[in-house]
């Protein structure tokens, strides 16, 4: 007598269960996997941006971005500056720390990765006074970059590169 294994493996109702809710990885045009931005982050070009809604000093803001696996914003191109400018201009009452600081009084302004600012991209407007000239951190307000005292509390922008 034959062993009837075929029948034992049939589904009760004959339908195949399809999982429409399964999350598939995003595949770009090049066919490589890229992870989308986390919730609350804005995707633009090759980066994710988080516009913080908590007030912190430059150093605390930098630390918080780092805890989220990111850095304070680095403006690499006029396109990126335009995009960020559009975002922050909707909040004319607020300024946002970016990843630009002046660690040595006589030294140049530096991004977090140690690179210097291209003067073609933007000028840093000085808010320093004679009484207080140590405005060694930069924020963006209405598309304009200003120097500021690092311990002032402000919003901030974190940037995370999309892994491509």
Number of residues that bind Ca ion (CB under 5 A): 2
Q: Which of 136, 139, 146, 130 is nearest to 105 (CA)?
A: 136
- In the complex with Ca ion, which residue's Cβ is closer, 81 or 128? 81
Exposed/middle/buried for residue 26 (C-beta within 10 Å: 0-12, 13-18, 19+):
exposed
- In the complex with Ca ion, which residue's Cβ is closer, 34 or 133? 34
- In the complex with Ca ion, which residue's Cβ is closer, 78 or 126? 78
Residue from the set 57, 64, 76, 143 that interacts with Ca ion by CB under 5 A: 76
Using CB under 5 A as the criterion, what x/- string covers residues 21-60 for binding Ca ion? ----------------------------------------
Residue from the set 41, 58, 74, 156 that interacts with Ca ion by CB under 5 A: 74
Compute the distance between CA of residue 70 and CA of residue 53 in angstroms, rounded to an integer: 16
* Min CB(71)–Ca ion separation in Å: 9
Tell me the backbone φ, ψ of residue 81, rounded to 5 degrees. -60, -40
- In the complex with Ca ion, which residue's Cβ is closer, 55 or 121? 121
* Min CB(125)–Ca ion separation in Å: 20
* Min CB(23)–Ca ion separation in Å: 27
- In the complex with Ca ion, which residue's Cβ is closer, 144 or 149? 144
Q: Tell me which stretch binds Ca ion (CB under 5 A): 3-11, 72-80, 98-106, 125-133.
A: 72-80
The contact set with Ca ion (CB under 5 A) reads 74, 76
């Amino acid at each position: 007598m034959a062993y009837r294994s075929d029948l034992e493996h049939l589904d009760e109702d004959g339908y195949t269960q399809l999982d429409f809710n399964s999350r598939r990885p995003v595949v770009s045009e090049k066919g490589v996997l890229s992870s989308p931005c986390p919730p609350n982050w804005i995707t633009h070009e090759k980066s994710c941006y988080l516009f913080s809604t908590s007030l912190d000093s430059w150093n605390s803001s930098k630390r918080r971005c780092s805890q989220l696996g990111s850095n304070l914003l680095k403006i690499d191109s006029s396109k990126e500056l335009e995009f960020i400018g559009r975002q922050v201009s909707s909040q004319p009452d607020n300024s946002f720390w970016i990843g630009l600081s002046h660690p040595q009084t006589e030294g140049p302004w530096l991004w977090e990765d140690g690179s210097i600012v291209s003067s073609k991209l933007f000028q840093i407007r000085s808010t320093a006074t004679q009484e207080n000239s140590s405005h060694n951190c930069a924020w963006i307000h209405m598309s304009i970059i200003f120097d500021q005292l690092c311990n002032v509390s402000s919003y901030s922008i974190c940037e995370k590169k999309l892994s491509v």
